Amino acid sequence: MIELRNIRKSFGPREVLKNISLKVNEGDVIAILGPSGSGKTTLLRCISFLTTADGGEIVFDGELFRANHSSRKDILRYRKKIGFVFQDYQLFANKTALHNVTLGLTVGRKMPKTEADDIGKKALEKVGMLEWSDSYPSQLSGGQQQRVSIARAIALNPSVILFDEPTSALDPKLTGEVLDVMKRLADEGTTMIVVTHEMEFARRVADRVVFMEDGLVVEENTAEEFFANPKDPRSVDFLRGIQRGVSQAD
């Protein structure tokens, strides 16, 4: 459904993405893992055109988009097929939870308000936030805000949802409630690309793991295989490092 071909990006002399290619099929849940600075977030931002790549192509539902110069119109059309969940939620602070979810429908797609409200309420119900419809973001906890932002993404009925470290700003309890919602979406067959540091989530929910380091895809594997028998020595190092971190935290 989505195919990335040779996505490249540098910031000054630093090459952040070195020819990344990746194929995502419908219904896939892909976890992108890797140490900080490995280019995971940049990759996600290039996929959504929030950062313009230096080169490469994205094939989406059979249509080819050039990652470095697509027209504004094409990007707008392309973006209507994707949902994006930010690390720090980025809810619209001047809108209630419901309006956050419906704004893309009423303004971006010119949908009548009543119809948009119906869809918005269903989306909020799915993430367990219906009773907070009229609350402003500042009145919600981090976990609640992130659930609203997930509702905002699913209300648009995108082909794929990109998650950029959706739980790294949350404490463990709030992390749990967000991961539950994401697991439910995965079980329903939503196509998801998730940049995460949550190994448990990657292990349990993801179909495939993409391990990145220094702007390269070092290993691509099924989640099961990746955690049980990582192939690349760098993956082994990374997983060992995490285990050490966990045992130290205990």
Partner 1 sequence: MDARILNELVDSFWKLLIPGIRVTIPLTLLSFSIGLCIALAVALVQVAHIQVLKQAARFYVWIIRGTPMIVQLFVVYFGLPSIGLTLPAFPCAVIVFSLSVGAYCSETVRAAIESVPPGQLEAGYCVGMTFTQTMRHVIIPQALTTAFPPLSNSLIGLVKDTSLAYSVAIVEILATAQRIAARTYDYFWLYCEAGLIYLIFCTFLTWLQRKMEKRLERKR
Summarize as ranges the residues that interact with partner 1 (CB under 8 A): 48-50, 76, 79-80, 82-84, 86, 88, 90-95, 103-104, 107-109, 136, 138, 149, 152-153, 156
Kindly write down the DSSP assignment for every residue of 43-58, as one continuous string.
HHHHHTTSS--SEEEE
**Do 127 and 159 meet the contact criterion of CB atoms below 8 Å apart?**
no
Nearest-CA neighbor of 34 among 175, 241, 179, 247?
Answer: 241
Nearer to partner 1 (CB atom), residue 33 or residue 101: 101
- To partner 1, the closest distance from the beta carbon of 136 in angstroms equals 7
Torsion of CA 198, 203, 209, 215, to 10 degrees: 30
- To partner 1, the closest distance from the beta carbon of 124 in angstroms equals 15
- To partner 1, the closest distance from the beta carbon of 97 in angstroms equals 14
Type of residue at 76: L
Nearer to partner 1 (CB atom), residue 103 or residue 130: 103
- To partner 1, the closest distance from the beta carbon of 153 in angstroms equals 8
DSSP-assigned beta bridge partners for residue 63 = 60
Dig out the tokens for 69 from the structure: 């110069």
Q: Distances in Å between the alpha carbon of 15 and those of 12, 68, 192?
A: 8, 15, 26
**Do 20 and 217 meet the contact criterion of CB atoms below 8 Å apart?**
yes
Nearer to partner 1 (CB atom), residue 78 or residue 226: 78
**Do 40 and 3 meet the contact criterion of CB atoms below 8 Å apart?**
no
Q: Mapping DSSP to helix (H, G, I), strand (E, B) and coil, where does residue 219 land? A: strand
- Provide CB contacts within 8 A for 73, sequence distance 6+: none
Nearer to partner 1 (CB atom), residue 11 or residue 92: 92
- To partner 1, the closest distance from the beta carbon of 193 in angstroms equals 14
- To partner 1, the closest distance from the beta carbon of 214 in angstroms equals 26
- To partner 1, the closest distance from the beta carbon of 54 in angstroms equals 19
Nearer to partner 1 (CB atom), residue 136 or residue 227: 136
Nearer to partner 1 (CB atom), residue 39 or residue 137: 137
Nearer to partner 1 (CB atom), residue 37 or residue 108: 108
